[in-house]
Amino acid sequence: MPGRYDLHTHSVYSDGTTSPAEIAAEAAALGLAGFALTDHDTVGGWDEARAVAAELGLDFLPGMEITTRHDWRSTHLLAYGFEPSAAPLGIELTRVRDSRLGRAREMVDRLSADFDIDWHAVIEQGADRTIGRPHIADALVSAGYFADRGAAFADVLHPRSRYYVPTYAIETVDAIRLVREAGGVPVLAHPAAGRQSRAVDPHAVAEFARAGLWGIELDHPENRADWLPPLAEAAARHGLVVTGASDYHGAGKPNRLGERSSRAETVEAIRALAAVPR
């Protein structure tokens, strides 16, 4: 895939199952021009991804996927090329990660009434990573209760489950402003993902655009085609750049690296705005 970039990938620094180095090697094997690492709420994998990408002659774009909410809807925001030491954004991200830890612990407590899993099995998967429901899923799979993450989500980890506990999320418009303040480029992730009950409202997209949203991930394997037209119209009306990416999670999800991608021109446009362009 010459000249193509996968702009949404997860490593073991959050809920992917492969290291940043392995993602880089896989991207090179596929013939991608480059990739962005976008772990949830952490930049922990940037250094490794950057170093291995350079060895392999790949173009690396630093990124992250931020846990946000808008009107109580869980809304993921991609952020590219921001300065990771920017204080206000960093403080909010620490709050998000701390909340995830307490929330996962509470979910495991609830689950342990009916399943023989303990907190240790979840937390021993790594202290440096952003913890999430996929790690609880992995513990349930290891204990033999479910075949894979998808089955665990469908049965006990979905938001209407009695075991579910919400976690702190930044207001989406605040996150957009914080990313811009940190010299980053904000892109709305998978706004029509079928796992949620509805797509992001086009009026919300207008509000996000006013706050500084730059792009919108309309080309994503989980976006529902029948939900896309109003979003494509909103994107055009507000001058948002449309991006494509796979949301690769290694073996944690069926999404394959490079199955959706963005053009080099898109990456160049992001770089022109970014405080940390590579």
Answer yes or no whether residue 250 interacts with ligand AMP by CB under 6 A: no
Q: What are phi and psi of 8, to 5 degrees?
A: -155, 100
Binding residue (CB under 5 A) for Fe ion from 50, 76, 100, 133? 76
3-state secondary structure of 40: strand
Give the x/- contact pattern for Fe ion in 164-203, rule: CB under 5 A. Answer: -------------------------x--------------
Mapping DSSP onto H, E and C, the string for 132-147 reads CHHHHHHHHHHCCCCC
Is residue 101 within a helix (H) or strand (E), and if so which, with residue range?
Answer: helix 87-111
Answer yes or no whether residue 219 interacts with Fe ion by CB under 5 A: no
Binding residue (CB under 5 A) for Zn ion from 6, 15, 26, 217? 15
Answer yes or no whether residue 132 interacts with ligand AMP by CB under 6 A: yes
Answer yes or no whether residue 6 interacts with Fe ion by CB under 5 A: no
DSSP for 52-91, please give it.
Answer: HHHHHT-EEEEEEEEEEEETTEEEEEEEES--TT-HHHHH
Answer yes or no whether residue 217 interacts with Zn ion by CB under 5 A: no
Answer yes or no whether residue 184 interacts with ligand AMP by CB under 6 A: no
Nearest approach in angstroms of CB 10 to Fe ion is: 6
Q: What is the spatial distance between Cα 30 and Cα 69, in angstroms, rounded to a whole number?
A: 34
**What are the angstrom distances between the C-alpha of 76 and each of 32, 67, 189?**
25, 5, 5
C-alpha dihedral sign at 268, 173, 74, 85: positive
Answer yes or no whether residue 237 interacts with ligand AMP by CB under 6 A: no
Nearest approach in angstroms of CB 241 to Fe ion is: 18
Answer yes or no whether residue 195 interacts with ligand AMP by CB under 6 A: yes
Binding residue (CB under 6 A) for ligand AMP from 219, 253, 267, 274? 253
Is residue 34 within a helix (H) or strand (E), and if so which, with residue range?
Answer: strand 34-37
> Which residues would be at the binding site for ligand AMP (CB under 6 A)?
15, 40, 132-134, 149-150, 153, 195, 249, 252-253
